[in-house]
A and B are shown apart, each in its own frame.
Chain A
């Protein structure tokens, strides 16, 4: 090949690079490894990474069963190793599957249009807010304090340089957004209220009431959904103007936090301010049905600095996992799946409530609940870990006012025996705190 090009050596190809910058040594990285060594390396890392533990963690990342056909299908090279479907004639497989994905997201969320995906739930929420800012021509945002704390952080990062003031509305005694706080924070410049339902504590928000307040003041309502399985049994936020969703629960591995699958869904009239790719139906020269990427004039490769977002690469293959998951469970299965989550959680909350204090129990919840204990949850979790159980997420870091509280999650994969074991540790902890207290009191007497 060098001869065909008319060069003597490979080095000649790199002549355009000034000599003083060329690297004249090996990169300091380990030598080339055999496939067997690579597999062993990652098996080793896996063993150091919670392999074999039962977990009660949720908080934006949920452990649901993944039907095996998901990986069987997404591993097909025609899906795995294809690029963004710009060349529609040889991308109909990807395009039709995205069209079906958009349709099912609409069915589940009650919205009229959905995009092909965003990076994740947190960035989808931030982009949905920016969308509301463009649509209303207003700039400020009211954010629910029981929105996932990391979603709030991401929004704060995105908002900093957009001149978008954020105000935080606190939750009330039932853990749900306090409507009075919303009323107080909302101004004529409020573009939208951003709320999560089920919220970070697992509680289901009264979306209709929040929508009423927002709309009364000419603001939009943006609803973030972090636990997609809830849509099987919880009424979707139909009064929302924009929904920003994390679809990880639908067949996407936990994967230590990513890749996941964000989605934005909205009303048809808002579509031209929507970020991200969209697939539309059309016909070819013979009138045959086909699908194309459409409304590209919103996007960066056409509009450059005037685009609705800079997003280019999205989460297509993950959206395909979600699509297959939704197809497997479908109309009946999703409901039954969600119902099992609800049942496990109802049982767990009742059991935990016998020993610790389950907070916010006055309002409906999906598959998460907050347990307050006398002892620091980190200490209880430390003992649970010795029994290969990962306890609920301690909330002190995010909500110091809740004291010794932790966020517990049950899914269809949580067994009764795991729940009973964890409850046993809470009971034991409460007993020992009580007896220690009694001892102190006795000494004092």
Chain B
């Protein structure tokens, strides 16, 4: 390492095998109370359905389990350890009060089918969060049912289709910019729409002339991320909406990048008809190693009849309940009411911020991204110099001349004590480095990051091999992904 990093130091961590390799008969970490009802003859009750053997399930003690998972945990990088600048993922601090309130007895143990009379607390949470998200987005109504962003996209497009159908023509196509996230086209396919690509202009925004040329009565909607995946606000957004609306199309907004807008501008005010939010991005619910998420879909009034069932309603006696009687609904997209535990956390986040806090969060997120853009502008190529919102996208054009690509720089960043940024996305930037610091980072942490990136930039010039072989400080070096895919080993088996 050319420059000693100030962020990280190597230290010993524990080796740990698979849990099955520690198992032996007779060890146990469980204890059931004595049975207070008569014991049973299992085979008499179950007959041939009785299971005799649980195969290779482990038998281990409690301290072994604690150590097993604690040791595994130390092999992970996490927001709690430092900056996690994954672009488009909004890896912000996950407040611990959220976790505490999600575990309050009546909230954690509420059964989805308990009578409405004793569900008023949960219903109140659903209603309050819905109202606040409607205010934040400037939309008219919302469903909290979708379990993640992609699930929200599907729900949104189902409503788009249902609305068009109600107008007499379901239409055939969804327009998707070439900078879009992969879930957008995958979702369109699930709702049986053909996908038509829309190219970006030289500033990284929707090419208005192309949109005008491609928009016609076959197009159901445009799925647009705003700010887009370059971190650029679509300045012609009103024009985009007008072009769509003039031909009877709808504007769908992927809210993945809502962290750049909250409290400053509302999608409902700039022509969006339907959009999803990611509570696990913008509203601070933890990513948890890949989920759970939550993907509420907010809509304009004309789409209201098509919302998934049930929706929360106020009954004549003033109490809350569920309304299932919605004949035009697209149906259910999930059993029960959605990832309720995430609603609790998101509501706690909104409460902890209030209107001033939410606005400042957005301002800080945008300020931080621009601070990094400025700090790294001399080292990395900026393919689009359009102003950045909450994230900035560089390319590896300069470093590629030395044979070093974005993934190599990302891996080297690990040695400096940071999680990599998002690599190789969006697709319109060859060799992209997509950096989103979020509002959570202090100037001190970002200065360390900028220092690390600059140092890697120098290494690329002077000693590219060090970068190409990175990471050097992790417990495993680069893993053979090709072998993993060619001959998949997807489970442990006793040898």
Report if A385-B111 is in contact (Cβ < 8 Å); known contacts: A302-B182, A324-B65. no
Q: A337's closest neighbor in chain B, by CB?
A: B32
- Considering only residues 24-53 of chain B, those with a C-beta below 8 Å from chain A are 28-30, 32-33, 35-40, 42, 45-51
On whether A282 and B351 interact (CB within 8 A), knowing A256-B110, A256-B340, the answer reads no
Q: A317: nearest residue on chain B (CB-CB)?
A: B288
Using A39-B97, A310-B154 as known contacts, say yes or no to A121 and B51 having CB atoms under 8 A apart.
Answer: no
- Interface: A145 (CB within 8 A): no
Q: How far is the CB of B166 from chain A (nearest CB, A)?
A: 14
For residue B6, give the distance in angstroms from its CB to the closest CB of chain A: 18
Are B477 and A284 touching (Cβ within 8 A)? Answer: yes
Residue among B40, B158, B371, B414 with most chain A CB within 10 A: B40
Q: Which of A30, A313, A326, A412 contacts B57 (CB 8 A)?
A: A326
B352 touches A (CB below 8 Å) = yes
Q: Return chain B residues, CB-CB under 8 Å to A59.
A: 113
Give chain B interface residues in 341-366, CB to chain A under 8 Å.
341-342, 344, 348, 350-359, 363, 366
Residues facing A in B290-345 (CB within 8 A) are: 290-294, 308, 330-342, 344
By size class, the interface of chain B is 35 or more
B393 within 8 A of A: no
Residues of B within 8 A of A234 (CB): 46, 49-51
> Which listed residue (B287, B475, B492) contacts A82, Cβ 8 A?
B287
Q: Are A257 and B186 in contact (CB under 8 A)?
A: no
* A180 CB within 8 Å of chain B: no
- Interface mask (A147-184 → B, CB under 8 Å = 1, otherwise 0): 01011011011101111000000000000000000000
Q: Assuming A99-B491, A102-B491, A283-B479, is B75 touching A84 (CB within 8 A)? A: no
Contact (Cβ within 8 A) A87 B420: yes
Partner of B36, one of A121, A335, A415: A415
In the complex, which of the residues B188, B264, B480 contacts A283, with contact meaning CB atoms closer than 8 Å? B480
What are some 13 contacts across the A-B interface (CB < 8 A)? A5-B367, A31-B355, A44-B121, A79-B69, A80-B288, A90-B76, A104-B58, A257-B112, A313-B280, A316-B289, A316-B291, A364-B45, A393-B113
Asked whether A329 lies within 8 Å of B30 as measured between CB atoms, the reply is yes
Q: Are B491's CB and A312's CB within 8 A?
A: no
> Which residues from 145 to 192 on chain B have a C-beta closer than 8 Å to any C-beta of chain A?
147-151, 153-154, 158, 161, 181-183, 185-192
Chain B: which residue is nearest A235 at the CB level?
A: B51
* B86 within 8 Å of A (CB atoms): yes
Q: Which of B99-107, B206-214, B397-405, B459-467 contacts A (4 or more CB under 8 A)?
A: B99-107
B444-495 residues with Cβ-Cβ distance < 8 A to A are 471, 474-481, 483-485, 488-492
Tell me which residues across on chain A come within 8 A of B151, comparing CB atoms. 119, 123, 310-311
Residues in A313-372 with C-beta less than 8 Å from chain B: 313-318, 320, 324, 326-337, 339-340, 342-344, 346-348, 364
Q: Which 8 residue pairs across A and B have the least CB separation, nearest first?
A: A317-B288, A257-B336, A77-B80, A32-B354, A51-B106, A46-B106, A49-B121, A257-B112
B293 and A313 contacting across the interface, CB-CB below 8 Å: yes
Q: Does A270 contact B (CB under 8 A)?
A: no
A426 to chain B: closest CB distance in Å? 17
Partner of B183, one of A2, A39, A310: A310
Residue of A whose beta carbon sits closest to that of B29: A328
Q: Are A89 and B477 in contact (CB under 8 A)?
A: yes
A254 touches B (CB below 8 Å): yes
B70: chain A residues at CB < 8 Å are 73, 76
Stretch from A18-26, A134-142, A210-218 at the B interface? A18-26
The reply to whether A27 and B42 form a contact with Cβ atoms under 8 Å apart is no
Residue of B nearest to A347 (CB): B37
Given known contacts A94-B289, A156-B331, A309-B186, A48 and B120 CB-to-CB distance under 8 angstroms: yes
Least CB separation from B389: chain A residue: A16
**Contact indicator per residue, chain A 282-314, by CB within 8 Å of chain B (1) or not (0):** 111110101110111101111111110111111
Task: Say yes or no for A63: interface residue by CB 8 A criterion.
Answer: yes
The chain B residue with its CB closest to the CB of A393 is: B113
Q: Are A27 and B78 in contact (CB under 8 A)?
A: no
Q: Which residue of A lies closest to B292 (CB)?
A: A259
B479 near A290: Cβ-Cβ < 8 Å: yes
Interface-located stretch among A110-118, A186-194, A431-439: A110-118
Contacts of B28 in A (CB 8 A): 330, 332-333
Most chain B CB within 10 A, of A103, A122, A231, A390, is at A103
Say whether A67 contacts B337, CB under 8 Å: no
* A89-106 interface with B by 8 A CB criterion: 89-94, 96-100, 102-104, 106
Collect the chain B residues with CB atoms within 8 Å of residue A306's CB. 189
Chain A: which residue is nearest B271 at the CB level? A21
A401 to B317, CA, bound (A): 31
Question: How many A-B contacts at CB < 8 Å in the complex?
Answer: 646
Partner of A385, one of B36, B49, B117: B117
- Do residues A328 and B288 form an inter-chain contact, with CB atoms below 8 A? no
Determine whether the beta carbon of B107 is less than 8 Å from that of A42: yes
**Residue pair B104, A204 in contact (C-beta under 8 Å):** no
- Please tell me if A387 contacts chain B, counting CB pairs below 8 Å: no
Partner of A294, one of B48, B149, B185, B481: B481
Contact among B80, B188, B411 for A89, CB-based, below 8 A: B411
B451 to chain A, nearest CB (A): 14
Across the interface, which residues of A come within 8 angstroms of B308, CB to CB?
157
Q: Are B476 and A92 in contact (CB under 8 A)?
A: yes
Best-surrounded residue of B190, B410, B491 (most CB of chain A within 10 A): B491
B199 at the binding interface (Cβ < 8 Å) = no
User: Looking at the complex, which one of B119, B269, B270, B278 makes contact with A49 (CB distance below 8 Å)?
Assistant: B119
Does A104 contact B57, Cβ atoms closer than 8 Å? yes
CB of B76 within 8 A of CB of A93, answer yes
Contact A311 B235 (CB under 8 A): no
CB neighbours (8 Å) of B192 from chain A are 161-163
Q: Are the CB atoms of A50 and B189 closer together than 8 Å?
A: no
Chain B residues, CB < 8 A from A280: 484-485, 488-490
Known: A23-B263, A161-B161. A390 touches B111 (CB 8 A): yes
Q: In the complex, what distance in Å separates the CA atom of A117 from the CA atom of B352?
A: 31
Residues of chain B within 8 A (CB-CB) of A282 are 479-481, 483-484, 489
- For the complex, what is the distance from the CA of A253 to the CA of B280, rounded to whole Å? 19
Residues in chain B near residue A295, CB distance under 8 A: 485, 488
Counting CB contacts under 8 A, is B136 at the interface? yes
Is residue A427 contacting chain B, with contact meaning CB distance below 8 A?
Answer: no
Is there a chain B Cβ closer than 8 Å to A8's Cβ?
A: no
Q: With the chains together, A42 CA to B128 CA distance in Å? A: 12
Inter-chain CA distance A342–B290, complex, in Å, is 35
